[in-house]
Amino acid sequence: MTDPDKNPMEHPDEQPAGADGTPRFGRLLIVLLLAVLAMVGLTVFSEWLYS
């Protein structure tokens, strides 16, 4: 068990990020960009449809 002074709520240790230890944000960034583009497309389409 870990030292209770460093982890008083007994949270699990953090998961390793990538193979080299750096965080991987590429996939998340692509998903967020696609979500924003989908909202923009929906907005443009609805403006075209109802005007």
Reported confidence tier of residue 48, pLDDT bands at 50, 70, 90: very high
Residue type for 24, please?
R
Structure tokens at 22: 């750096």
- Predicted TM-score of the model (pTM): 0.54
Residues 23 and 17 sit within 8 Å (Cβ to Cβ): yes
Q: Which residues contact 13 (CB under 8 A, 6 or more apart)?
A: 2
Residue 3: per-residue pLDDT: 59
Residues 24 and 18 sit within 8 Å (Cβ to Cβ): yes
pLDDT in tens, 5-44: 677 777 777 766 666 656 667 888 999 999 999 999 999 9
**Radius of gyration (Cα) for the chain, nearest Å?**
21
Q: Which residues contact 10 (CB under 8 A, 6 or more apart)?
A: 2, 4
